[in-house]
Chains A and B, each alone.
Chain A
Amino acid sequence: MSNKKAEMPEESTANGGDSNRIDNSNSGGASSAGAGGRNASQKHIEKIVLQYLKSKGYKDAEKALRENAMLDTAETTLGDLSNAFPASEVGSDASVPNWILFYNEAEQGNPDAYSQSYKELRRWIDNSLDVYKHELYAASYPIFVHSYLDLLGRELYEKAAEFMELYSCDHRVFHSKDISALETLKAKSHIQENELAKLYRENKYGVRMTRVGFELLLSFLQDHHYTLLMRTVNQHLNIRTIDGTVPISSEAEADVGITGHTQNQLDHFNSQEIVLGSASLDPFVRDEVERTLQSEAGRRIKDNTSREAAGMLETFSKIKQDSSVNGLSSREAIPMPPPRGIEIEQQIANLKAVRKRISLGPAALPSICMYTLHNTNNTMNCATVSEDLSLLAGGFSESYIKIWSLKREPLRGLTSNFYPNSVNSVEDAEMLREKTTDDYRKLVGHSGPVFGLDISFDSKYLISSSEDKTTRLWSLDTFTNVVCYKGHNYPIWDVSFAPQGFYFATASHDRTARLWSCDHIYALRIFAGHLSDVNCVRFHPNSKYVVTGSCDKTVRLWDVQRGSCVRVFTGHTGSIDTVAISPDGRIMASAGEDQTVNVWDLGSGRRMDTLTGHTGPVYSLTFSQEGTLLLSGSADETVRAWNQASNSSKPAAVSSSERKKRDAAGIWKSKRVAESEALLETWRTKSTPVYTIAMSKRNLGIAIGAFTLS
């Protein structure tokens, strides 16, 4: 124990003492059942000493002890033990006290002990506080590796393989290379041959932990008598306690891992191939749009509309060309239901918008229309506008959703009681609408606060997620609840429609994000991997990926088809509340509690920029249509515009300057925040935290906030 003391921090010494006491009493109790009138613990120690002598090859001493102590029954047990624990395993590293301290007969004999105790450890980490989760996960990696190697060493090959299969997923993100290498080990002898395994066996693995986190881990292992794991911690880990929080870093730190061996293999993980091109148009829609435009342009009477149509046709062919170069092949794209005609209208409207779009940039800042909600008394949780800017919706703590018409026209839903025979034309259908004159509607159905809202691209559907564990689809023709999707077992924080509708994704407190389609009441994919609540979810413009932000301070990119994680973005120092992807699908921005906005390159998974300046949690982000500007809305009652024009010219530039910025960003606590150079403009509101910021197709900014009396 003496050599351990030198390496472990002070607290561990005290804890080591505790473990001593607990372990002895425990193992004593275990052996007392088998022993008769003899002092149980005495016999137990003798047994261990005997084992030790045997393992070291001190035959005479062993024999003497055996005779003196008259351990006749011990032979069988020891035989098992020596099988389970060959002498070679107790190498020069294992000292006598270590051997005695961490000896638990029940565990030693049980081939499932590693699997069981690691499973418990994993579950315990999963349930621990978010603050400590990361460091505990980091510490569990060497435990995992050594448990695996131990199992191999004990020639329990099947168990080892099973162990690897079950738990390797936890560490693949950060240690994918090492795990794939270790996976190939199939026999005890391989450990001796394999460079990597030897590296792990012969070196101590450095881990950084906070004081509390370390104490929690130790007391967990002690309380449950996981002596095997405890031994690994003692033998192979070099734990350094630090003050403050342990950063989840993507860069190798000097005292983390094994010196000289690259520990962090996140980059390797993030190098998985992804396709970021834009989604190709449905051939039917494409042809139909072309046909419509051509007939418009080719009309005999040359008026404005025909000229416009001609221009739009030009733009459309350009877009078509682009998509044929960068777009996804039909095999790559996710399946969509056949087009209903609304897509064609939508496409033409988009083309119109593109032609009328004001191009924005650092020199040309957008106009922003602010919608302020009054009398909310802090009960509004979320808000959104439809893409055509005709509807505004808000989700409230009182379980209802309220929709306003932004054109101040009455919202009249279709009634359901009519004779189908009497409806012969559109006019007849219009006649069937309700006779209300109110320009707002309340949607009642949820039984808990509504946390997430989204309106489909065609403004026909609204989807809402709530604390009541359900997601509901509302028709905006009838203003009624159409479908209720159940599946999550905890509150759902966010919901988002796919760009072309039909699919939607939810983010929940249950640490998963799920993909749904409107026509199925169960989830099509479950994206599991976040260590804590998933706070927000957004679709990639090509619908092939979803991006999620979580309380575990990471952002993940998921492949919709495979349901697996393909990118992990680390670098935030607080929970992530919002993400946004640029319309070209190459850049992603995330922000949240830590008041900074990070801009990422989706392709490489690297951080491109850290934008500081906000003095409150950031609630919402949006890119301009060209991706040259990033707008952010925050609790600090401001909307800020950030320059993104320079980013396109320097993709994935990770340099020392970036690191410096992060250091500078470490002083958030002071009232004055160092503002990034990219900050172009700050617009203040009158005591209105900005809940949502959006960009219309024509590059008009929309900000929504609830007026709050301070």
Chain B
Amino acid sequence: MELTYTEEEEEFRARLRQWLARALPALPARPDPGDWPARRAYDTGWQRTLYEAGYGRLHWDAPPAQRLIFLEETERAGAPYVGANFVGLLHAGPTIAAEGTDEQRARWLEPVLRGDEVWCQGFSEPGAGSDLASLRTRAVREGDDYLVTGSKVWTSHAEIADWCELLVRTDPTAPKHRGISWLAMPMDAPGVTVRPLRTLTGTAEFAEVFLDGVRVPLANRIGAENDGWRVTMVTLAFERGTAFAGEVVACRRALEEIAAAARAGGQWDDPVLRRTLGRLNAEFRALWRLIQWNASKAGATGGPPGTGGSVLKLRYSRARQELYEAAALVAGDGGLDLDGRWTADRLTSLSYTIAAGTSQIQRNIIAERILGLPKGG
């Protein structure tokens, strides 16, 4: 039980801190959230900067402790987060790294790391959300290609993506988990139509993607045919593991800002609010400790984070919502102002208990896979 970092880890931190102090002032201004091409340019530009400084691979190759330091320091310094590179760096990339052939790794990983290519995720469908394995988008072999037909939904960054990590049904007769394959689909292929989807925040953060006879080469399949469900579980394990590390650091900073505003604005005299913020301080510190715990375990086994990520995901998503509810108490009438300091964050926080496996699904996973309770019901 040690929480101090080794000399080597601290050296890494110091070097990174120095580099961030030089690199961040050189960044261009943040683009308008509605301007997708500008967002892509900004996010991929930052990834390119990281790559050239030797920090581009940290999401995959680095020992977990080093990765935590990276996420902690970049967030503290106010550096951009992964943004448009999210799926490429945190989903598709790690999956290809773990399950792809040498050739596939050589084709797809480097462009993600260099910020040259952007990925989106084609998992959910209108009829396949929590029950992801019931997805119906079909892929039929024709020569050296699959012909893909169907539709996907909740696809972030679809408008600007070059590639889509796509789950398709390749065997409609097999049990639902056994007839799925994982494909890398080029977004500029004929038959791909993207329609932006306006969310309750008012902006179009997601899209629907319609696929009409899209040709995807067989060589773009990661893993064996019909083994896509297992391949996907690798991706989801990454998503639920330490992927929230940067966000937890960001929440702790936001909590400090909310408390400072409450002290300045007089709301601090309200013991209910004070205690709510105090509890959140304990909560977010514990979440950070859980991330350190998960990272220590992952560092020892070398594998993906596993089901322990569900514990983190469940608790973190709720804490984030509580944080911005508390912010609304501090904001008062300002909480009704779309331009208010925390209004957008409060709205966005609603997605956290739904995206990447709802809280209800996480509880099933914990009950069945960690506690061993029987399936069904």
Report whether chain A binds chain B.
Answer: no
Interface residues of B (CB under 8 A from A): none
